[in-house]
């Protein structure tokens, strides 16, 4: 399932870091309650800024099948400045959250990404507890990785590996109930309609 964050695309509301967390939780709760999908059946996929809510959610769901980070950021400030430490006012602190992700992580990044430097993807991959072979797309930019044949090939390989992994290695038990990322419970699934 894909969706637009608040304030993006066809979605109403204001774009903010908190709202992206609220949005991903709403989608997750919809998948769980309306479609009966368990977290161990999910692979979360975050691209660019979308890596923020993806890692935020993945750091809280301990039985996810996998995570894909596509042109991901270390943090908001680090996209603009080469800071060494996490600042209190920074947004999307992926550099801190990746350490709490228990599922396999595939990192995909272009070597010619002029928006988010390749070093972001490499560092996230280094910090992941459960690494999957990364894909550094030679000559790839920020918004065109899907056009490279190796992208689909590697993504398919990852998905196939995650399907086999879940059959051979049962996911760890999560001791508490499904956590609420935003401390707000969502009772309604977003409905999509044609215009």
Q: Is 113 among the residues known to form the active site?
A: yes
Q: Which entry of 96, 117, 142, 166 is annotated as an active-site residue? A: 142
Q: How many CB atoms lie within 10 A of CB 132?
A: 21
List strand residue ranges (DSSP E) for 98-146, in order. 104-110, 135-137
Q: Which of 48, 51, 71, 75 is catalytic?
A: 48
Active site residue 142: yes
**Which token pair is 70?**
């596509």
User: What's the maximum distance between 2 C-alpha atoms anywhere in the chain?
Assistant: 47
Catalytic residue among 23, 56, 103, 113: 113
CA distance 54 to 69: 8
Helix (H) and strand (E) counts for the chain? Answer: 6, 4
Give me the active site residues, please: 48, 113, 142
């Amino acid at each position: 399932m894909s969706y637009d964050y608040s304030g993006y695309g066809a979605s109403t509301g204001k774009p903010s870091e908190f709202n992206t967390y609220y949005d991903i939780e709403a989608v997750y709760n919809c998948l769980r309650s309306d479609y009966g999908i368990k977290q161990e059946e999910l692979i979360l996929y975050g691209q660019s800024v979308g890596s923020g809510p993806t890692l935020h959610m993945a750091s809280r769901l301990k039985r996810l099948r996998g995570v894909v980070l596509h042109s991901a950021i270390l943090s908001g400030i680090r996209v603009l400045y080469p800071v060494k430490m996490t600042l209190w006012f920074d947004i999307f602190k992926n550099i801190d959250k990746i350490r709490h992700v228990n599922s396999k992580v595939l990192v995909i990044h272009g070597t010619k990404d002029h928006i988010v430097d390749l070093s972001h993807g490499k560092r996230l991959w280094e910090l992941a507890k459960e690494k999957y072979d990364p894909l550094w797309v030679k000559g790839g930019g920020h918004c065109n990785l899907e056009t490279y044949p190796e992208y689909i090939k590697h993504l398919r390989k990852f998905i196939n590996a995650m399907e086999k992994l879940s059959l051979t290695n049962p996911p760890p038990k999560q001791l508490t109930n499904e956590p609420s990322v935003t401390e707000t419970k969502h009772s309604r699934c977003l409905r999509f309609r044609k215009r």
